């Protein structure tokens, strides 16, 4: 049976929970990515098949809140934000939890000031080996209250396995993100590592491997994002790609494709060179036979015998490890559901989540291709029907937009989703606030009736129709 997590009541949602439960009944195998429709009359909300808290986030919240509840009066610290959601982190601070580091790694409270009686919770992103060692030096077990996402740990283990087999590692991620810093720390103990941000950087790395770019470009683009002494020519003879779990899954696959093709081309070049050398050797051998030099004939026969490796060139799979199984299932599901949203007609999209949440920003990035899209932290960013404050990830600023509400003929259709670290309760609040700007909305309970258990079993009209 699925594990039951302790999620505080303040994060519970009536509206979104009802919709999600109905979709689970209708689609238990999660095959249908068509969004549900919550129809309030003058405004309709498209609710994706998957969004909100994932397994790793629920696991982290469960451990953190149980720890606080079971240790009253204790000094309790989080290494940094447990997840990238300000509501959750502020609530933990209100309960007395303090943060040792900012998300960028800046130290708030020195680890050296802690005592063995203090409690330190490792966030869902995990942490570096260096910080673990500092905690152990203070007599604190870093694994006692560890909320590291199991799927992050899966990536670490795969990296260790590949390193033990002689592979170097390319980490697809944001180098300054806590999870990528942790993955880099763990992986670099077993293998040479380099971090690439996106397919554009993967192309640069591929060109360096193929010697289409000078080696100096490696230092320019990756010098601060690799293990010491990384040699892109020698160290990338055998590589595997692992990832920050909150990156776009499609981008990780693209990074893998680009590098795999580069490795294959490098392999073909080397095979061709060996074939040319073999041809030259054979020509020399034939010349020696014609000249009647027996010594040359004998040595030529010996040196001309190709070994097993030359006869049976190893395939590209020997040089490029398939690591597709390290992609986070929740990231895949949420992004797949977002593509489902993009297949529908909507006047705009609202994405709820922390402004430093990587997975939330990727949902915004996708939806921006299809609709006017606003990334908001919570309902407080919606100031009125004519003004909204929202995050622009491209210039890293919170912007104010006037006349944001579509003036389309009613009903107005809004695609509504959230990041994996955002409580559904915040999505409820956004939905209700937006609905308050429309006159004549039917009661939410009435709109939810098709999603309640008795309605679900007799109707299949809860999903969008093109």
Say whether both 424 and 340 belong to one domain.
Answer: yes
Say whether both 33 and 60 belong to one domain.
Answer: no
463 lies in some domain: no
Structure confidence at residue 357 as a pLDDT band (50, 70, 90)? very high
* Candidates 58, 179, 251, 429; catalytic one: 179
Closest CA to 78 of 178, 184, 188, 181: 178
Say whether both 437 and 340 belong to one domain.
Answer: yes
Say whether both 120 and 70 belong to one domain.
Answer: yes
Residue 421 has pLDDT above 80, yes or no: yes
Residue 465 has pLDDT above 60, yes or no: no
Strands 76-78 and 98-99, bridge-based pairing: parallel
Please provide the average confidence, as pLDDT, over all residues in the chain: 89
Mean pLDDT confidence for 30-46:
95
Q: Which of 253, 274, 289 is the last residue of a domain?
A: 253
Say whether both 221 and 244 belong to one domain.
Answer: yes
To the query of whether residue 179 is one of the catalytic residues in this protein, the response is: yes
Q: Which of 103, 137, 171 is the last residue of a domain?
A: 137
Say whether both 19 and 116 belong to one domain.
Answer: no
The predicted structure's pLDDT at residue 289: 54
241 lies in some domain: yes
113 close to 136: Cβ distance less than 8 angstroms:
no
- Return the bridge partners of 387, or none: 384, 402
Please list, in sequence order, all residues whose beta carbon lies within 8 angstroms of the beta carbon of residue 87, skipping any fewer than 6 positions away: 378, 423, 426
Which string of b and e fits 325-340 if b means at least 16 CB within 10 Å? Answer: ebbbebbebbbbbbeb
E strand spans, 75-173: 76-78, 98-99, 119-121, 168-172
Say whether both 159 and 195 belong to one domain.
Answer: yes
Residue 329 has pLDDT above 90, yes or no: no
Number of domains observed in the structure of the chain:
3
Say whether both 186 and 100 belong to one domain.
Answer: no
404 lies in some domain: yes
462 lies in some domain: no
Residue 108 sits in a domain whose CATH number is 3.40.50.11270
The predicted structure's pLDDT at residue 76: 97
Q: Which of 205, 220, 253 is the last residue of a domain?
A: 253
State which residues form the domain around 77: 55-137
Mean pLDDT confidence for 221-231:
96
Residue 415 has pLDDT above 70, yes or no: yes
Say whether both 424 and 381 belong to one domain.
Answer: yes
Say whether both 25 and 85 belong to one domain.
Answer: no
Say whether both 423 and 406 belong to one domain.
Answer: yes
This prediction has a pTM of: 0.85
The dihedral through the CA atoms of 284, 289, 290, 296 has a sign that is positive
Residue 167 sits in a domain whose CATH number is 3.40.1010.20
394 lies in some domain: yes
156 close to 183: Cβ distance less than 8 angstroms:
yes
Say whether both 155 and 212 belong to one domain.
Answer: yes
């Amino acid at each position: 049976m699925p594990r039951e997590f302790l999620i505080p009541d303040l994060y519970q949602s009536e509206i979104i929970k009802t919709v999600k439960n109905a979709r689970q009944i209708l689609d238990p195998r999660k095959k249908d990515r068509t969004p549900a429709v919550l129809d309030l009359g003058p405004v309709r909300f498209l609710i994706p098949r998957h969004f909100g808290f994932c397994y790793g986030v629920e696991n982290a919240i469960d451990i953190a809140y149980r720890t606080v509840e079971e240790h009253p009066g204790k000094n309790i610290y989080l290494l940094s934000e447990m997840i990238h959601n300000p509501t959750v982190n502020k609530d933990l601070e209100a309960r007395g939890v303090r943060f040792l580091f900012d998300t960028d790694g800046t130290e708030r409270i020195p680890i050296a000031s802690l005592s063995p009686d203090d409690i330190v919770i490792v966030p869902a992103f995990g942490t570096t080996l260096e910080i673990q060692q500092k905690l152990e030096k203070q007599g604190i077990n870093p694994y006692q209250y560890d909320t590291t996402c199991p799927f992050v740990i899966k990536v670490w283990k795969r990296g260790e396995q590949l390193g033990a087999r002689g592979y170097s590692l390319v980490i697809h991620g944001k180098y300054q993100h806590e999870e990528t810093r942790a993955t880099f720390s763990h992986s670099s103990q077993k293998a040479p590592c380099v971090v690439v941000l996106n397919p554009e950087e993967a192309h640069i790395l591929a060109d360096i491997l193929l010697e289409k770019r000078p080696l100096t470009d490696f230092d320019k683009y990756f010098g601060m994002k690799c293990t010491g002494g990384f040699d892109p020519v020698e160290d990338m003879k055998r590589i595997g790609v692992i990832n920050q779990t909150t990156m776009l899954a499609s981008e990780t696959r693209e990074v893998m494709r680009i590098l795999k093709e580069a490795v294959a081309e490098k392999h073909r070049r080397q095979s061709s060179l060996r074939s040319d050398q073999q041809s030259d050797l054979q020509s020399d051998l034939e010349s020696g036979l014609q000249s009647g030099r027996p010594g040359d004939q004998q040595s030529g026969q010996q040196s001309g015998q190709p070994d097993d490796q030359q006869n049976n060139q190893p395939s590209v799979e020997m040089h490029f490890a398939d690591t597709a199984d390290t992609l986070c299932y929740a990231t895949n599901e949420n992004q797949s559901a977002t593509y489902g949203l993009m297949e529908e007609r909507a006047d705009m999209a609202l994405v709820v989540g922390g402004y430093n949440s990587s997975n939330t920003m990727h949902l915004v990035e996708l939806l921006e291709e299809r609709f006017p899209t606003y990334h908001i932290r919570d309902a407080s960013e919606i100031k009125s029907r004519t003004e909204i404050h929202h995050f622009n990830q491209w210039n890293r600023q919170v912007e104010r937009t006037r006349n944001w509400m579509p003036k389309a003929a009613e009903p107005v259709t809004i695609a509504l989703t959230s990041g994996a670290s955002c409580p559904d309760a915040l999505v409820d609040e956004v939905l209700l606030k937006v609905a308050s700007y429309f006159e004549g909305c039917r009661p939410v309970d009435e709109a939810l009736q098709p999603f309640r258990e008795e309605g679900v079993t007799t109707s299949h009209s809860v999903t969008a129709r093109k």
